[in-house]
C-alpha cells in the first residue's frame, strides 16, 4: 500500500465559508480530510470577566454581543438567571412573559433566516440569500420599533421589559407571521428539490445520536440526529409549557440534510408560537413590582427627593443579590445558551460563566468532516450555524 502524503492547509480566518474569525488547520490527503483542528481566539471579548466589574444591569448590554444574530435570546437567558438569583421569577407580569416569548420566537426566525441565507450562499445558491434577507429586514424593522436598535436590541430587562409594544406592533407581527409560511415554501422550492443542493448536503457531516449527546450538541444540531430534546418543552420557562408546538427532528439521519429540514420546520413552529402569544396578549404591567429592579413611577421621581435618589441609585449602583449561585439555560436558535452566575452579596456578579451553543457545537466539526472532501467542510460549517461572537466570548 502506497504511503500517504499529508498536506497541512490553513482555512481562514476570513468571513466567506467560515462565518467569522475561525481558522481551521486541515490535514489533507489530496482532497480527502484526514483531520481538522479548529482555532478560535481571535475576538477575545472578555464578557465573563467584564461582568465582574459591572452591576447586574450594566452587564445586560454585554450579552447582546454574544450571538449577535439572536440578541434577545441572550438578554432573555441572562435576565432569567438574575431573576432566579434574586428570587423574583414568579413576579414577572404575564404581559412581559408573553412578549418575551413572542420576541424570542421572532428572533429565532431572524437567526434561522441568516443561517439559511449564508449556508445556501456558501454552497453556491445566491437567490435564497436575497429572499431570506428580505424577510430578515422586516424583523429588524420590528426590532427597531420595539427597542430602538436593529441588532443589539437590549430590550429585555431584569424584572420585565424596557418598554411596552408600540401602537400597531401586534398587527404588524401577526401580518408577518401569516405571510412567513409562504416564504418558507419559496425557499423550499428553490432548494429542497434541487439535485445539486441534495448532492451537496445529503449524507454529509453525519453524526449519530449517541455521539451527538457525548459531544454535547444541542439545538437543531442535536435534534437533526434524532434526539428529541428542546428546553422550551422539556425544561420550560416563561410559560412555554402553555404553548402548543412540535419539536422538529428533521429526518433523524444526523446529516446536513436533516439539520436543514429541522430548521425549516422550526421556522414554521416559531410562527405558530407567535400567533398563540398574540392571542394570549392582554393589557397589563411589563415590569415586576419588586423594589430591587423596578424604577419608581415618574410622578414619584418628580414629586419627591426620595424618589429621585432611588431612581439614580438603581441606575448607578444597581441592586444587591443574596449570596448564592444559579444556572439557567434557554433554547436559543443554535442550542442551549446557559448562564451560570455566582453572587457574593454585592451589586455585581462574583463570577459568570456562559455556556454558548456555538462553542460546544463546534467540537463536532472534526468528527463530522473526517474522511469527507474539502468542499464538504464548507457545507458542514454552515450546517452547524456557528457565531464566533459567542465562541470567543
CATH code for the domain of 97: 1.10.645.10
Distance in angstroms (rounded) separating the CA atoms of residues 41 and 229: 30
SS3 378: helix
Model pLDDT for residues 181-239, shown as the tens digit of each residue: 999 999 999 999 999 999 999 999 999 999 999 999 999 999 999 999 999 999 999 99
> pLDDT grade, residue 343 (50/70/90)?
very high
> pLDDT grade, residue 298 (50/70/90)?
very low
pLDDT, greater one: 306 or 289: 289
The answer to the question of residue 265 being in a domain is yes
Tell me which residue range forms the domain holding 237. 47-391
Stretch 177-181: mean pLDDT = 96
Distance in angstroms (rounded) separating the CA atoms of residues 237 and 233: 9
> pLDDT grade, residue 299 (50/70/90)?
very low
pTM assigned to the model? 0.92
The answer to the question of residue 4 being in a domain is no
pLDDT, greater one: 311 or 390: 390
Q: Are 209 and 254 in contact (CB under 8 A)?
A: yes
Stretch 365-393: mean pLDDT = 92
At 16 the pLDDT is 58
Cis peptide bond N-terminal to 174, omega within 30: no
Q: For residue 387, what are the contacts with CB-CB under 8 A and spacing of at least 6?
A: 19, 20, 66, 67, 68, 69, 334, 358
> pLDDT grade, residue 301 (50/70/90)?
very low
The answer to the question of residue 147 being in a domain is yes
At 304 the pLDDT is 55
> pLDDT grade, residue 133 (50/70/90)?
very high
Go through the chain and tell me how many residues it has.
393
The answer to the question of residue 126 being in a domain is yes
Q: For residue 344, what are the contacts with CB-CB under 8 A and spacing of at least 6?
A: 323, 350
The answer to the question of residue 5 being in a domain is no
- pLDDT at residue 367 tops 80: yes
The answer to the question of residue 363 being in a domain is yes
Place of cell 409562504: 182
Stretch 323-327: mean pLDDT = 96
> pLDDT grade, residue 300 (50/70/90)?
very low
The answer to the question of residue 194 being in a domain is yes
> pLDDT grade, residue 319 (50/70/90)?
confident
At 306 the pLDDT is 61
Stretch 374-389: mean pLDDT = 92
- pLDDT at residue 293 tops 90: no
Model pLDDT for residues 66-124, shown as the tens digit of each residue: 999 999 999 999 999 999 999 999 999 999 999 999 999 999 999 999 999 999 998 98
At 279 the pLDDT is 97
> pLDDT grade, residue 17 (50/70/90)?
low
Q: Where are the alpha helices (DSSP H) in the chain?
A: 47-50, 56-64, 71-86, 94-123, 127-147, 169-191, 195-201, 209-215, 220-223, 231-234, 256-280, 298-303, 305-317, 357-361, 365-369, 374-384, 388-391
How many domains, the chain?
1
Task: Give percent of the chain above pLDDT 90.
Answer: 76
Q: For residue 45, what are the contacts with CB-CB under 8 A and spacing of at least 6?
A: 65, 389, 392, 393
Of residues 78, 124, 8, 364, the one with CA closest to residue 237: 78
The answer to the question of residue 208 being in a domain is yes
Cα atoms in the 13 Å half-sphere on the side-chain side of 250: 26
Stretch 306-332: mean pLDDT = 77
154 pairs with which residues across the strands?
none
Q: Are 362 and 384 in contact (CB under 8 A)?
A: yes
Q: What is the largest CA-CA distance in the chain?
A: 89
Q: Average pLDDT of the chain? A: 90
Amino acid at each position: 500500500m502506497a504511503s500517504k502524503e499529508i498536506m497541512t492547509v490553513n482555512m481562514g480566518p476570513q468571513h466567506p465559508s467560515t462565518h467569522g474569525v475561525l481558522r481551521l488547520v486541515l490535514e489533507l490527503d489530496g482532497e480527502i480530510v484526514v483531520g481538522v483542528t479548529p482555532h478560535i481566539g481571535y475576538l477575545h471579548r472578555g464578557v465573563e470577566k467584564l461582568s465582574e466589574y459591572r452591576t447586574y444591569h450594566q452587564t445586560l448590554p454585554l450579552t447582546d454581543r454574544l450571538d449577535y444574530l439572536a440578541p434577545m435570546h441572550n438578554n432573555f437567558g441572562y435576565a432569567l438567571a438574575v431573576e432566579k438569583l434574586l428570587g423574583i421569577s414568579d413576579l414577572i407580569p404575564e404581559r412581559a412573559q408573553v412578549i418575551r416569548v413572542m420576541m424570542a420566537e421572532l428572533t429565532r426566525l431572524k437567526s434561522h433566516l441568516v443561517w439559511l441565507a449564508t449556508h445556501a450562499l456558501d454552497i453556491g445558491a445566491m437567490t435564497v440569500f436575497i429572499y431570506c434577507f428580505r424577510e430578515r429586514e422586516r424583523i429588524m424593522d420590528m426590532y427597531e420599533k420595539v427597542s430602538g436598535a436593529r441588532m443589539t436590541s437590549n430590550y429585555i430587562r431584569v424584572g420585565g421589559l424596557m418598554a411596552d409594544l408600540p401602537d400597531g406592533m401586534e398587527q404588524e407581527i401577526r401580518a408577518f407571521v401569516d405571510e412567513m409560511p409562504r416564504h418558507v415554501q419559496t425557499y423550499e422550492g428553490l432548494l429542497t428539490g434541487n439535485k445539486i443542493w441534495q448532492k451537496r448536503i445529503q449524507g454529509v457531516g453525519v453524526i449519530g445520536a449517541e455521539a451527538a449527546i457525548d459531544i454535547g450538541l444541542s439545538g437543531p444540531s442535536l435534534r437533526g440526529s434524532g434526539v428529541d430534546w428542546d428546553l422550551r418543552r422539556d425544561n420550560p420557562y416563561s410559560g412555554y409549557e402553555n404553548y402548543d408546538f412540535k419539536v422538529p427532528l428533521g429526518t433523524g439521519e444526523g446529516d446536513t440534510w436533516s439539520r436543514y429540514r429541522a430548521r425549516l420546520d422550526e421556522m414554521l413552529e416559531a410562527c405558530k408560537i407567535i400567533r398563540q402569544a398574540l392571542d394570549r396578549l392582554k393589557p397589563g404591567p411589563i415590569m415586576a413590582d419588586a423594589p430591587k429592579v423596578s424604577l419608581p413611577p415618574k410622578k414619584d421621581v418628580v414629586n419627591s427627593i426620595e424618589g429621585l435618589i432611588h431612581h439614580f441609585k438603581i441606575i448607578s449602583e444597581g441592586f444587591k443579590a443574596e449570596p448564592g449561585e444559579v444556572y439557567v439555560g434557554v433554547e436559543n436558535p443554535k442550542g442551549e445558551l446557559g448562564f451560570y452566575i455566582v453572587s457574593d452579596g454585592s451589586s455585581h456578579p462574583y463570577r459568570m460563566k456562559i455556556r454558548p451553543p456555538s462553542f460546544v457545537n463546534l467540537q463536532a466539526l472534526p468528527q463530522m468532516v473526517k474522511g469527507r472532501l474539502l468542499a464538504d467542510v464548507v457545507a458542514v460549517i454552515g450546517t452547524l450555524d456557528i457565531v464566533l461572537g459567542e465562541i470567543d466570548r
